[in-house]
Structure 1
Amino acid sequence: MPHLKSQAIPVQAPLRDQVAEALRAALIAGDLRPGVVYSAPTLAAELGVSATPVREAMLDLAREGLVEAVRNKGFRVTEMTERDLDEFTEIRTLIEVPTVGRVATTATAEQLEALRPSAQEIVTAAREHDVLAYVEADHRFHLGLLSLAGNHHLVQVVADLRTRSRLFGLGSLNETGRLVASAEEHVELLDLMVAGRGAEAEECMRRHLAHVRTLWAEGTARPLRG
């Protein structure tokens, strides 16, 4: 049985979206485990809502590749293989590394500095073990940075990859402080880009994505809370 009571949904909130966010948070924290089938009534009872918005939210998560429907049973949390992790990292490297190099030479210092609050928020969240704030700030920083390239479709592709490669059980790594080093790489990357050091920024992004790949592997390998 998952433990989702801390994610109880306020009655005035738009249920489908709020339930989906609560379930995403549970995936990140490791409260919903890869490979396990969860029924809508069980999750609904945990969240204090009816089963209908849970089913609707689960269908949204299924479209994102985070869960899959199991006939007459519920939804199974998607398991990621080592090959999946390698392929996600390869695609992101092919897209994000050269984009960072280009943005370092085309974006203004003001545009780049506008991303600094998000970069600093990532570090603060990692140090304070606030995994949800970490994920939200990380998402905002990376997509904001890529948007400076002026290619909406590129941003959408990376956003989809990031959604599908969410780190199940990220909370267990966060508790050990393993996310701090990765968090600090965002500030390093931004400093390099503000200085116009495109080649070094590309190398920093390449190193950061490799670091993220390692965290993915460790996060999926560690025992998750249940």
Structure 2
Amino acid sequence: MAPQHGPALPALGGRRPSYRERVADALRAALITGELRPGEVYSAPGLAARFGVSATPVREAMLDLAKEGLVDTVPNKGFRVTAVSGRQLDEYTHVRALIEIPTTASLATTADPGDLAALRPVARETVTSAAAGDLIAYVEADLRFHLGLLALAGNGHLVDVVSDLRRRSRLYGLTSLAEQGRLQASAEEHLDLLDALLARDEETARTVLTRHLGHVRGLWAAP
């Protein structure tokens, strides 16, 4: 199924986010998937129409993204999406692997099984979003799943670092993968990872996550 565009804002788990935060999350996901392209200038009213919301929360959300360095303000026009080089993406992915792989794999012996099982609905959400070709919902669920796992390690700063790296990444290849029906297979790796962690199989968990993160600069990277 072809990927969807201009989606309705998703419902997020945990603390109920403000409307501005929901808009910002959807815009970040649109940046990551390449639905909002680097170098392009987007106006708040134009984005509001695209996402089916009012202009004010979009403008506020884009200002938040500007503070994060994801967009630049263009006076009297809107916001320009900042470009990310291949070298930057390689660096982001390398740091993520150094942090995420050992931290997540160690949960096989340290995490409470109930806490791990509680993430299964989010893992399934990545699969259903991939099957539907809803890239923005996929990216948001993927983020919540991986950050949810890392949070079980009990290091909030680590979660913040990985969250920032993920939001700066670009996964332009997701569109073609969704159109080819291949994204669902990648999404199902979330369930494989959970199964390994619940089985207390640290080595398999490490193998699955290593392969999964490898998609970032492999399957998911191609424009």
Shorter-chain TM-score range: 0.7 to 0.9
Structure 1 partner of 2:14: none
CA contact (8 A) 1:20 1:58 kept: yes
Shift of 1:108: 2.5
Question: In the alignment, which of 139, 154, 158 is matched to residue 158 of structure 2?
Answer: 154
Please state if 1:194 is matched with 2:187: no
Q: Deviation digits for residues 39-67 of structure 1, max 9, x if unmatched? A: 345445655745x5443222111123321
Please state if 1:80 is matched with 2:80: no
If each structure's helix is expressed as a fraction of its own residues, which one has the higher value? 1
How many Å separate the matches in 2 of 1:187 and 1:15? 30
Shift of 1:181: 2.0
Please state if 1:126 is matched with 2:130: yes
Q: Deviation digits for residues 140-176 of structure 1, max 9, x if unmatched? A: 2111111111111111111111111153574443222
CA contact (8 A) 2:33 2:170 kept: no
Cα pair distance change 1:67/1:98, threshold 3 Å: same
Bigger shift: 154-163 or 165-174?
Answer: 165-174
What SS does the aligned partner of 2:80 have? strand
Larger radius of gyration: 1
Question: In the alignment, which of 64, 71, 74 is matched to residue 70 of structure 1?
Answer: 74
Question: In the alignment, which of 24, 35, 41 is matched to residue 20 of structure 1?
Answer: 24
Structure 1 partner of 2:94: 90
Bigger shift: 102-111 or 63-72?
Answer: 63-72
What SS does the aligned partner of 1:167 have? coil
Cα pair distance change 1:153/1:206, threshold 3 Å: same
Cα pair distance change 1:160/1:120, threshold 3 Å: same
RMSD after superposition:
2.7
How many Å separate the matches in 1 of 2:213 and 2:204? 14
Mapping 1:1-226, distance limit 5 Å = 16-17=20-21, 19-21=23-25, 23-24=27-28, 26-27=30-31, 30-40=34-44, 42-43=46-47, 49-50=54-55, 53-168=57-172, 170-218=174-222, 221=223
How many Å separate the matches in 2 of 1:210 and 1:182? 11
TM norm structure 2: 0.80
How many Å separate the matches in 1 of 2:38 and 2:188? 29
Bigger shift: 28-37 or 116-125?
Answer: 28-37
How many Å separate the matches in 1 of 2:215 and 2:221? 10
Q: Which runs of 5+ in 2 are unaligned?
A: 10-17
What SS does the aligned partner of 2:127 have? helix
What SS does the aligned partner of 1:57 have? helix
Q: Deviation digits for residues 46-102 of structure 1, max 9, x if unmatched? A: 55745x544322211112332112345431112221111101110110000110121
Aligned pairs, how many? 210
How many Å separate the matches in 1 of 2:127 and 2:7? 24
Q: Deviation digits for residues 193-225 of structure 1, max 9, x if unmatched? A: 11111122112211110112224421xx2xxxx
Cα pair distance change 1:97/1:20, threshold 3 Å: closer
Q: Which runs of 5+ in 1 are unaligned?
A: 9-13, 222-226
Cα pair distance change 1:169/1:20, threshold 3 Å: farther
Letter in 1 for 2:40: V
What SS does the aligned partner of 2:73 have? strand
CA contact (8 A) 2:48 2:58 kept: yes
